[in-house]
Each structure stands twice: as structure tokens, then as C-alpha cells.
């Protein structure tokens, strides 16, 4: 696997660091706080959370409150990048 059509490993780390930095800067103005201590104690793929989410059925005809959802997704993405790509 070589050539210009494949991402080489040497550029993956800088790209992930840049994504982490952009997420961090974006979240500094939001309602969520970023603490590294939370990241170390939390598993991104917690089976208990998955089991809880399957207990409830969602009525797709009702509107859903999505305020703060984008910031929550950014926070989880940032935390998981820090956990799994900690340089």
C-alpha cells in the first residue's frame, strides 16, 4: 500500500492532533468543560449505556429537543480521541 492515494501513518498523528485542537477550541466557548480526568475513567464503548438505550422506543413523529447536542457530540469525540490517540 503505497502511493499518493493512501494516507501514510506519518501524517495521521498530526492530523488527529489538529482535530483535537479544533474540537478543544470549539468547546471552550460551550457549556461543557473538558477534563482529562474524566477521559481516563470512562470507557467510550460502555455496554451498560447501550443496554439502557435499547429499553426505550422513540416516537419518530414527535420533535426532539436537540439543544446542546452538537456540543455533546464534539465533547465525546474529543474525549475519545484523547483516550485512544493519546500522544
- Determine how many CB atoms are found less than 10 A away from the CB of residue 23: 20
13-63: pLDDT as tens digits: 899 999 999 999 988 877 665 554 444 445 555 555 555 555 667 778 888
Q: Which of 2-6, 12-16, 67-71, 78-82 has the lowest mean pLDDT?
A: 2-6
| pLDDT at 81 (0 to 100) | 93
Residue with cell 477550541: 25
Range 37-44 contact pairs with CB under 8 angstroms and sequence separation of 24 or more: 38/79, 39/79, 39/82, 39/83, 40/83, 42/79, 42/83, 44/76, 44/79, 44/80, 44/83, 44/84
Amino acid at each position: 500500500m503505497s502511493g499518493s492515494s493512501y494516507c501514510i501513518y506519518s501524517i495521521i498523528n498530526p492530523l488527529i492532533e489538529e482535530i483535537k485542537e479544533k474540537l478543544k477550541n470549539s468547546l471552550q466557548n460551550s457549556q461543557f468543560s473538558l477534563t482529562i480526568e474524566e477521559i481516563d475513567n470512562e470507557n467510550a464503548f460502555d455496554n451498560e449505556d447501550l443496554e439502557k438505550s435499547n429499553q426505550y422506543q422513540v416516537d419518530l413523529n414527535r420533535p426532539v429537543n436537540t439543544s446542546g447536542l452538537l456540543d455533546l457530540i464534539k465533547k465525546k469525540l474529543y474525549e475519545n480521541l484523547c483516550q485512544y490517540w493519546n500522544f
